[in-house]
Amino acid sequence: MKKFTVLSMLLLYVLGCSKNNTDTEPEPEMQPEMQGGDQQASVSFMPCENGKAGEYACNGYDFLGQLDLRAFDAQAGNDIWGWTDPTTDKEYALMGLDNGTAFIDISDTENLIYLGKLPSATGSSTWRDIKVYKDHAFIVSESAGHGMQVFDLTRLRNVTNPPQSFTQDARYTGFGNAHNIVINEETGFAYPVGTARDDAFFGGAHFIDVQDPKNPVGVGGYGVSGYSHDAQVVTYNGPDNDYSGDEIYIGSNETNVAIANVTDKDNPFQISSLTYGNRAYTHQGWFTDDQRYFILGDELDETNFGVNTRTLVFDVSDLDNPVLHMEYTGSNSAIDHNGYVKGNEFFLANYTAGVRVLDISNIGAKTITETGFFDTFPTSNTASFSGVWSVYPYFESGKIIVSDINRGLFVIQKSN
Residues 139 and 249 in one domain: yes
Give the CATH number of the domain where residue 182 resides. Answer: 2.130.10.10
Q: Is the pLDDT of residue 329 over 80?
A: yes
Task: Count Cβ atoms within 10 A of the Cβ of residue 138 and give its class: 0-12 exposed, 13-18 middle, 19 or more buried.
Answer: buried
Q: What pLDDT was estimated at residue 305?
A: 97
Q: What percent of the chain has pLDDT over 90?
A: 89
**Residues 412, 374 contacting (CB under 8 angstroms):** yes
* Torsion of the alpha carbons at 241, 242, 247 and 248, rounded to the nearest 10: -100
* Torsion of the alpha carbons at 377, 378, 382 and 387, rounded to the nearest 10: 0
Confidence of residue 225 (pLDDT cuts 50, 70, 90): confident
Task: Count Cβ atoms within 10 A of the Cβ of residue 326 and give its class: 0-12 exposed, 13-18 middle, 19 or more buried.
Answer: middle
Comparing CA positions, the residue from 393, 234, 371, 221 lying closest to residue 316 is: 234
Residues 400 and 258 in one domain: yes
Comparing CA positions, the residue from 343, 353, 268 lying closest to residue 310 is: 353
Confidence of residue 26 (pLDDT cuts 50, 70, 90): very low
Residues 24 and 48 in one domain: no
Residues 272 and 301 in one domain: yes
Q: Is the pLDDT of residue 311 over 70?
A: yes
Residues 37 and 17 in one domain: no
Residues 354 and 392 in one domain: yes
Q: Can you tell me the mean pLDDT for 307-314? A: 98
Q: What pLDDT was estimated at residue 38?
A: 38
* Domain of residue 6, residue span: 1-31
Return the half-sphere exposure (C-beta side, CA atoms, 13 A cut-off) of residue 337: 28
Confidence of residue 12 (pLDDT cuts 50, 70, 90): very low
Residues 109 and 258 in one domain: yes
Q: Can you tell me the mean pLDDT for 7-20? A: 36
Q: Is the pLDDT of residue 380 over 70?
A: yes
Q: Cis before residue 119, ω within 30 degrees of 0?
A: no
Distance, in Å, from the CA atom of 410 to the CA atom of 394, rounded to the nearest integer, reads 15
Work out how many domains the chain is built from and give that number. Answer: 2
Residues 37 and 127 in one domain: yes
320 vs 11: which has the higher pLDDT: 320
CA distances from 117 to 81, 104, 163 (A): 14, 9, 7
Q: What pLDDT was estimated at residue 181?
A: 98
Query: What are the pLDDT digits (tens) for 104-162?
Result: 999 999 999 999 999 999 999 999 999 999 999 999 999 999 999 999 999 999 999 99
Query: What are the pLDDT digits (tens) for 260-301?
Result: 999 999 999 999 999 999 999 999 999 999 999 999 999 999
Q: What percent of the chain has pLDDT over 70?
A: 90
Q: What pLDDT was estimated at residue 24?
A: 37
Residues 148 and 4 in one domain: no
Average pLDDT, the chain: 91
Residues 162 and 258 in one domain: yes
Confidence of residue 43 (pLDDT cuts 50, 70, 90): confident
Residues 24 and 90 in one domain: no
15-29, 82-96, 112-126, 338-352: segment of lowest average pLDDT:
15-29
Residues 122 and 176 in one domain: yes
